[in-house]
Amino acid sequence: MIARGTSPINICTLALLRSLHTSPPPPPTTKAGFAVLLRSASSRPHLKQIHALLLTTGLSHKNSLLTQLLLSLISIPDMSYARHLFDDMHKPRVFLWNTLIRAYARTNLPGDAIALYHDMRRLGVRPDSFTFPFVLKACADLLDVWLGMAIHSLVIKFRLVNDAIVQTELMIMYAKLGACDSAENIFESMSSGSKDLVAWNALISSFTQNGHADKALRLFHRMESAGMKPDSITLVSAISSCAYLGCLERGRRLHRRIKEEMLESNVFVDNALLDMYAKCGSMEEASKLFGEMQQRSIVSWSTMIGGYAVNGDSQRALSLFSRMQDEGVQPNHVTNLAVLSACSHAGLVGEGKEYFSRMLDPKVEHYASMVDLLGRSGHLEETYNFIKSMPIEQDAGVWGALLGACTIYHDLELGQLAADEVFRLAPGIPSYHVLLSNIYAASGRWDDVQKVRENMRGNHVRKVAAYSSVELDGEVYLFHEGSHGQWKEIYKKLDEVTTVLRGMGYEPVTGVVLHDVESEEKEAAVRTHSEKLAIAFSLTRMKSAGTPIRIMKNLRVCNDCHTFSKYVSRALGRDIIMRDKNRFHHFKDGECSCRDFW
C-alpha cells in the first residue's frame, strides 16, 4: 500500500535505490541520493525516472544536478533527450555547450554539432579552446571546406591558433578535406611536442589519398627520423603510396620491416600489401601473402581477383572468384567490378554476360564495365543497344567506354554520337576529347581534329601530359616526352636499341600521331615517347639481365611503344613489366600478356 502523500515516482525510485545497495541508501531528494542514482542507472527508463524525480521534487532548477543527468544521457547515448534537457537549462555554462557539441561530433551528428555551435554564438556564449576542436571535426565530417575556413578565421580571431589541440584538429580537418597545402602549413607551424602520431598520420594519409604519394613517403621517413614509431594507419598509407608510385622495392622493404620488427599488422595492413604487390605487377608475391594470411576480408579477395585481372591472368581471377563463393564469401560491388574487368581484359563476352546476369543490384559502374567488354570485343551495335536499354541513367563513364571502343574500331558515326553524350555530361575531361581526335585522325579528317583542339582551348580543357617512371635502387625517376636531365646518354642508348630492332623488322607505328605530316616527322614524334626513354634509361643503369624493367605510365600505352617493347623483350632478352592507365603489360620473348588486346 502506498502511503498518503508519497508519489509513485518516489516509490519507484526508492525501489531502484534499494535494489542497488545493501546498506540504507541516502534520501533520493538530496544531491547524494541523485549521485547514487545516476551512478547506478544504465538505461533510458532509469534516467527518465530520475529526471521525473527532479521535476517533482522541485530540484530541476539546479544546473549541477541537470549537468550530471545530461552527462549520463550522453554516455548512453540519447542525444535527442539530452538536447531536450539542455534546452530547459538556465544559462548553461560553456562547459555544457562544449560537452554537447563534442557528443554530437562523436556520435556522427556533425550537422547538429554545427547548429548548436551557431546557437552558442547567437546567444553570446564565447567559445574557448575546448569548443573548436569538435567544431572543426564536424566541418571535416561534413566535407565543408568553406565552413572549415570560416571557423579557422574565428580561431585566429579568438587567438587560439597556437593552442596545440586546436592546431592538430585544424590540420586534421584540412587533411581530410584534401586541402594538402593548408594542412602542411599548419603542420609545419606546430611545435615538435604537439606533433603526435595522430597529426603525422593525418597528413601522411592526406598526401596519399590526394595523389601526392612521393610527399607521403618523404613525410613517413621524416616521421621515423623524429623517433615516432608507425602504427597500422601509418603503414597502410605508406604501403598505399608505394602502390601508387609502383615502388616495388620500397614496398618490399616495408613488408620485411613489418615482419622483422613486429610492427603493428592486421588485415588492413595485409590488404594494403596485397594491393601494393598487385599494382606493382608482382602477383607471385601477392599470391604468397594471400596464402599466408590468417584473416581475409572481402577486400582481400577483391584485391586478388582485380590484381589477376589487370595483370592479364583472367582465368586465375575467375577461378579465385569461384573459390571465394565456394567458401561462402559473398561478393560486393568491388568484387563484381573485378570479375567484369577480368572478362573485359580477356574478351570473355559470354562469361561476362553470365556474371552480369547474376548480379543482384548492378550499379552504373558495372554497366560501364559491360559496355567496355562488349565494345572492346567489337560488338558496337549490341553495345549501343545495351546502353539504350539500361534501367538506370547513363553517366559519362558509360558513354566514354563506348567512345573508346569506337576509337579502336574506327567507327566515326557512333563515336561522334557517344562523344556528344560524353561532352554533355562531362565536358571537362580531356581524355574524351583526345579519343574523338583519334577517331578523326584515323579517318584523315584533319580539319575536325583541329576543331576538337580549338574546342579544348576555348573551354580551357588541357590534355594530360604523358609521363613514365621507373624505380631503381629505391629512387623513382620520372620521364616526360622529349626531355630529361640525362638526355644524351638516354638518346644514345635509344638510337642503339632502335637500330638493332629495325634489323629484326621493327618499324615505328605512326598512326598514333595526330598530325597531317610526312612519315619522317611522324617517326620523330613517336621516337621520344616517355616509355621509350624509361626503357633506354633502365638499360643504361640495370646490369642484371635477369631483373625485369618495371615501368609505370599515367596514360594508355600507344601501339608503337607496345610494339617497341615487344621487340626489346625478344632482341635483348629483357622482360618488361609496364603498368599503363588501364592494365599491366608483361613483355617476354616478343609477346605481351595482353595478347595485343588492350
pLDDT > 60? residue 219 = yes
Q: What is the secondary structure of 446-462 as a DSSP string?
A: HHHHHHHHHHHHHTT--
Query: For residue 22, what pLDDT is reported?
Result: 46
* Residue 433 contacts residue 406 (beta carbons within 8 Å): no
The percent of residues in the chain predicted with pLDDT above 70, rounded, is 88
Domains (ranges, CATH) in the chain? 196-295 (1.25.40.10), 468-592 (no CATH)
Residue 465 DSSP class: P
User: Per DSSP, what are the bridge partners of residue 552?
Assistant: 469, 579
* Helices 79-87 and 94-106: angle between axes, nearest 10 degrees: 160
Kindly tell me if the per-residue pLDDT of 20 is higher than 50: no
Q: For residue 528, what are the contacts with CB-CB under 8 A and spacing of at least 6?
A: 481, 482
Which cell numbers in the block locate residue 395?
Answer: 553517366
Q: In the chain, pLDDT over 90 holds for what percent of residues?
A: 69
Statement: residue 1 has pLDDT above 50? no
Global confidence as pTM: 0.83
Quickly state the pLDDT bin for 333 (edges 50, 70, 90): very high
The arithmetic mean of pLDDT across residues 271-277, rounded, is: 97
Does pLDDT of 512 surpass 60? no
Choice between 65 and 62, residue whose per-residue pLDDT is larger: 65
User: Residue 18 above 90 pLDDT?
Assistant: no
Could you tell me the pLDDT band of residue 545, with boundaries at 50, 70 and 90?
confident
Q: Is the pLDDT of residue 55 over 50?
A: yes
pLDDT of residue 3: 37
Mean pLDDT of 483-511: 87
Q: Which three cell numbers stand for residue 392?
A: 538506370
- Does the pLDDT at position 517 exceed 50? no
Q: Quote the Cα angle for 557-559-560, to 5°.
A: 100
Q: Is the pLDDT of residue 68 over 80?
A: no
For the record, the C-alpha cell of 499 comes out as 637500330
In the three-class reduction of DSSP (H, G, I as helix; E, B as strand; rest coil), residue 343 is classed as helix
Tell me the angle at which helices 248-260 and 232-245 cross, rounded to the nearest 10 degrees: 160
Count other C-beta atoms under 10 Å from residue 213's C-beta: 22
Cell 538536447 maps to which residue?
Answer: 83
